[in-house]
Structure 1
């Protein structure tokens, strides 16, 4: 498994990712408190329109100066993460983890952690003190970010919250 930088030319490789998962629980957050709800449903893989949307988002972030890392098993992309380039927070010292996915068959093998490490190093090199994470509300995503040192943020980014109000907004200190 190799973790390496991704460029615009790598965007179509996102189609290698199978984002499907069985979702046991989801979280919601109100007044800084997480509430867990049983979900018990299968989240399907992306359809072509959703792949196109992810690819466009990936390309936009890279064109704006963002950084992406991919995990490759041979020639197959099995995970990727994108660090946005816009500084956020009241002190303008946070960079957002904009996209982060590991394909279903490769989860729970440390790949996501290795991608997060690469994104963290890139953020530090750019002068960030924290990562801002707008996590999907699934138990697997929230617990992954928490296991990597993230916690609920006391200062929700209003722009990101407006885009994804169901997400769990977290900060990871670097």
Structure 2
């Protein structure tokens, strides 16, 4: 596995990440507590419109001096993590994205990408990462296993951007 800091013209490789997943449970926050609900989704991959928006988001982050790191297996992007370039409140940096290809999940790649980006954030003065996670059980449970907790209260601006996400804080 090779890890590298991506440049702007490599960001469209996000399409190479196989994001398929069958979802059977999602989280909602009720009374500052996580509640698990059975909901079913079969995510087959990227929707072209969604992929375009995400690549544009990465390009914008890159232009703001954000950090984008890719994980490659035989020259194919199989994981990506990105970090905003600024401190939110003097101690927190926003984890922008984390994607790991289907066949690489559960093998430590996500944790390795978080470790790498956490080191970058620490070097920039952060003490914690703010995570706005999709409410899918596998995603939220991953962050909880790393030691993340519900953001209480969530950042007002970030919550307004993604009110259905689960907003977490991960000490680093």
TM-score of the alignment, normalized to the shorter chain, above 0.5 = yes
| Partners of 2:15 and 2:133 in 1: CA distance | 21
In structure 2, what is the Cα distance between the partners aligned to 1:31 and 1:120?
A: 29
Give, in angstroms, the shift of residue 30 of structure 1: 2.3
TM-score by length of 1: 0.95
Q: Secondary structure at the match of 2:86?
A: coil
**Aligned pairs for 1:15-54 within 5 A:** 15-54=15-54
Deviation at 1:18, TM superposition (A): 1.7
Pairwise CA RMSD of aligned residues?
1.1
C-alpha distance in 1 between matches for 2:82 and 2:139: 15
CA offsets 1:92-143 (integer angstroms, 9 cap, x no match): 2100011110111211111111100011000001000110000000001001
State how many pairs are aligned. Answer: 172
- Matched residue, 2:119: 121
Hey, what does 1:155 align to over in structure 2?
153
Unaligned stretches of 5+ in structure 2?
none
Asked whether the equivalents of residues 25 and 40 of structure 1 are also in contact (C-alpha less than 8 Å), the reply is yes
3-state SS in 2 of match to 1:83? strand
Match of 1:141 among 124, 139, 142: 139
Give the TM-score taking structure 2 as reference length.
0.96
- Secondary structure at the aligned position of 1:19 is classed as coil
Residue-by-residue CA offset, 1:25-76 (whole Å, 9 max, x unaligned): 1000123100100113312311222111111001111110110111100110
Q: CA deviation at 1:24?
A: 1.4
